[in-house]
Amino acid sequence: MPLYFSEKEIVLPGQLLSDNGRRSGEGTYVLDGKVYAAVIGLATIKNEKVCVIPLKGVYNPQVGDKVIGIIAEVKPNGYEVSLGKHLFATVKIPDKREVQAMNFKIGDVIYGVVKESGLRGVFLETGDKLKKITSGLLIMIHPSKIPRLIGRRGSMINMLKKETGCELIIGKNGYIVIRGDNPLGEFAALSAIKLIEREAHSQGLTERVGKLIKKIMQGAVS
C-alpha cells in the first residue's frame, strides 16, 4: 500500500498522501479513492490512518480538556464563558443560589474542564472542577502550539517553570496564565512562550528557549 510522504513531512492542502481511501484520518479527505491533505501540517500514521497534524487550526474542545476562559455573561442559571476566538462555553448551574454564591463577574478568569462538546455547544463541569484564577499574566497562544509548549512528557513546561520560577497554568484552548513573584521571571516565561509559539516545530528549540530564559534572567535583555 503506497504512501506518498515521509513520516512527519510538511504537507499542503491538496497533496496526495495515499492511494488507499479507507486510510483517510484527521486532516485529510478522500477523492476518487485516494487520500489528500486538507490542511497544512505534518503527515503521519495514527492507528493505521493517514493523518495530518495541523500547524495552525482551530481548537476543537474534547471532553476532559482543561481550559481557561473569561466570564462573558452572567445568567440566572449559570455563565457564558469565552474560550477565545469564536468559541464560547456554557456553565449550567440549576440552583440559582449557587450561582449567587459563586459570584463570578464578567471579566473574571476561570479554569475549567470540558464536560460535553457537540452540536448543542460546549459545556463545562461545575463544582470543584471550576475555579476562579485571581491573579497572573493572561496570554493567548495558538492552541495548536500547546502540545509543543508542554513538550514530551512535560519536558518543555517543566524546564520553563524551573528556570523562570513561575507557576504556569495552561488551557488547551490556548490561554495561559503566568504567575511569578518577580517580573523578570514573568518576562522570561512570556518571552519563552512567544518564542515557542513562533518556532514551535523548528530544531533545537529547547536549547534556544533555555538560552533566552538565562539571558533574560541575567538581565541581559530588558
Partner 1 sequence: MKSNEVKLIREDGRRLDGRAFDELRPLKIEVGVLEKCDGSAYVELGKTKVYAAVFGPREVHPKHLALADRAILNCRYHMASFSVDERKPLGMTRREIELSKVIREALESVVFLEEFPRTCIDVYIEVIQADGGTRTAGITAGSLALAEAGIPMIDLVAGVAVGKINGHLVLDISDIEDKYGEADMPVAMAPRLNSIVLLQLNGRLTGEEFKNALELAKKGIMEIYQQQREALRRKYSGISAEEV
Partner 2 sequence: MSTAIQPKKNITARIVQDKIYSLLQQSKRLDGRGLYDMRSITITTNLIEKADGSALVTLGGTKILAGIKTEIGAPYLDRPDEGSFTINAELLPLASISFEPGPPDERGVELARVVDRSIRESKVLDLKKLCLIEGEKAYILFIDIYVLDYDGNYYDPSLIAALAAIATARIPEYKVVDGKIQKTGAYFTPKLQSLPFTVTFGLIKDKLIVDPHLEEESVLDVSIIIGVDEKDNIVSIQKNSPGLIPEHLLTKMIEIAIEKAREIRKIFCEKLNISLD
Q: Looking at 43, 124, 190, 213, which residue binds partner 2 (CB under 8 A)?
A: 190
Residue 72 contact partner, candidates partner 2, partner 1, none, CB within 5 to 8 A by sort of partner: partner 2
Residue 109 contact partner, candidates partner 2, partner 1, none, CB within 5 to 8 A by sort of partner: partner 2
Residue 187 contact partner, candidates partner 2, partner 1, none, CB within 5 to 8 A by sort of partner: partner 2
| Residue 183 engages partner 2 in binding (rule: CB under 8 A) | yes
- Our CA dihedral for 61, 63, 67, 69, rounded to 10 degrees, sits at 70
Number of residues that bind partner 2 (CB under 8 A): 22
| Residue 107 engages partner 2 in binding (rule: CB under 8 A) | yes
Tell me the chain's radius of gyration from C-alpha atoms. 20
Q: Is 16 helix (H, G, I), strand (E, B) or coil?
A: strand
* Beta carbon nearer to partner 2, 71 or 200: 71
Asked if residue 191 lies in contact with residue 216, where contact means CB atoms within 8 angstroms, the answer is yes
Q: By the criterion CB under 8 A, which residues form the site for partner 1?
A: 7-8, 10, 12-14, 27, 29, 31, 36, 38-40, 42, 53-58, 85-88, 119, 144, 147-148, 151-152, 155-156, 199-206
* Maximum distance among all Cα pairs of the chain, rounded to whole angstroms: 62
Alpha helices in 56-120 (DSSP H): 96-102
* Beta carbon nearer to partner 1, 182 or 202: 202
Q: Is the dihedral of CA 69, 74, 80, 86 positive or negative?
A: negative
| Residue 196 engages partner 2 in binding (rule: CB under 8 A) | no
How do beta strands 66-75 and 78-82 pair?
antiparallel
Q: Is 104 helix (H, G, I), strand (E, B) or coil?
A: coil
Taking CB under 8 A as the rule, which mask of x and - marks residues 124-163 in contact with partner 2? ---------xxxxxx-------------------------
**Least spacing, CB of residue 79 vs partner 1, in Å:** 16
Give the Cα separation of 24 and 37 in Å (integer).
9
| Residue 204 engages partner 2 in binding (rule: CB under 8 A) | no
Residue 203 contact partner, candidates partner 1, partner 2, none, CB within 5 to 8 A by sort of partner: partner 1
Phi, psi of 216 (to 5 degrees): -65, -45
Q: Is 22 helix (H, G, I), strand (E, B) or coil?
A: helix
Asked if residue 81 lies in contact with residue 70, where contact means CB atoms within 8 angstroms, the answer is yes
Q: Which residues bind partner 2 (CB under 8 A)?
A: 70-72, 82, 105-109, 133-138, 177, 183, 187, 190-191, 221-222
